[in-house]
Amino acid sequence: MKKDIASIIESLILASGKPLTIDELAKFLEVEVEDIKQAIATLEEKYNQEYSGVHLAVNNKKIQFISNPKNADYLYSYFQEELSGELTRPALETLTIIAYRQPISKEELEQIRGVNCSLIIRNLLIRGLIEVEENKENLAPVYSVTMDFLRHLGISSVEELPDFAKLNSDENLQKLIQNTNNDESAS
């Protein structure tokens, strides 16, 4: 069975939600870089149409789905409330946990809160209050607060947060996280 490279790339871009490099796609799919470039050209032809709400962005050997630039005003209006409204109590709780326990994975965050945090994380990322980076050790993204977060609070470091040393090294919380990690690796 021959691989439909364009279809696979399309699915990977959609599922990953982050830019993918041409080289990593070629390596993963075990094909030549030129095959990836041809598949990308096919996807650009499919998506980068005036009537399409989704476009494929290609920049610096990375690709990602983006919204059609002509719809930017509508997106801005739609998300304006999320960006400028007050943070909800669950969002504040999540942001507080990230600030005191950073860098923290989504799994650790959800273990502490006891609920799925995907939408809250998305909203905090959109607002620029948290940032994500890949953790090379366990291949899971980890979250930390941004400089904008610190600037909004008027502090220069998270260590200036009230009771930071005590809450950052809480032994009971550390045991809970460790037990969760052990349970997950045993599964």
pLDDT band, very low/low/confident/very high, at 52 (cuts 50, 70, 90): very high
Tell me if 80 is assigned to some domain. no
* For residues 119-148, average pLDDT: 85
Joined together, the tokens standing for residue 114 give 């006891």
Residue by residue, DSSP assigns 54-68 as: EEEEEETTEEEEEE-
Joined together, the tokens standing for residue 145 give 């607060």
What is the distance between the alpha carbons of residues 129 and 59, in angstroms, rounded to a whole number?
Answer: 25
CB 38 within 8 A of CB 2: no
- % residues pLDDT > 70 (the chain): 86
Q: Domain ends where: 70, 96, 117?
A: 70
What is the distance between the alpha carbons of residues 34 and 53, in angstroms, rounded to a whole number?
Answer: 27
Q: Which domain holds residue 13?
A: 5-70
Residue by residue, DSSP assigns 62-107 as: EEEEEE-GGGHHHHHHHHHHHHHSPPPHHHHHHHHHHHHH-SEEHH
What is the distance between the alpha carbons of residues 112 and 181, in angstroms, rounded to a whole number?
Answer: 12
Pair (105, 162) in one structural domain? yes
What is the distance between the alpha carbons of residues 102 and 93, in angstroms, rounded to a whole number?
Answer: 14
What are the distances in angstroms from CA 141 to CA 60, 106, 149? 22, 7, 19
Which tens digit of pLDDT belongs to each residue from 86-128? 788 898 899 989 988 888 888 889 888 888 888 899 889 988 8
Tell me if 23 is assigned to some domain. yes
Which tens digit of pLDDT belongs to each residue from 55-76? 999 988 889 888 888 888 888 7
CB 53 within 8 A of CB 69: no
Tell me if 14 is assigned to some domain. yes
Pair (60, 100) in one structural domain? no
Identify residue 74 by its one-letter amino acid code.
Answer: Y
Q: What domain count does the chain have?
A: 2
CB 4 within 8 A of CB 39: no
CB 129 within 8 A of CB 99: no
What is the distance between the alpha carbons of residues 18 and 12, in angstroms, rounded to a whole number?
Answer: 10
Pair (93, 53) in one structural domain? no
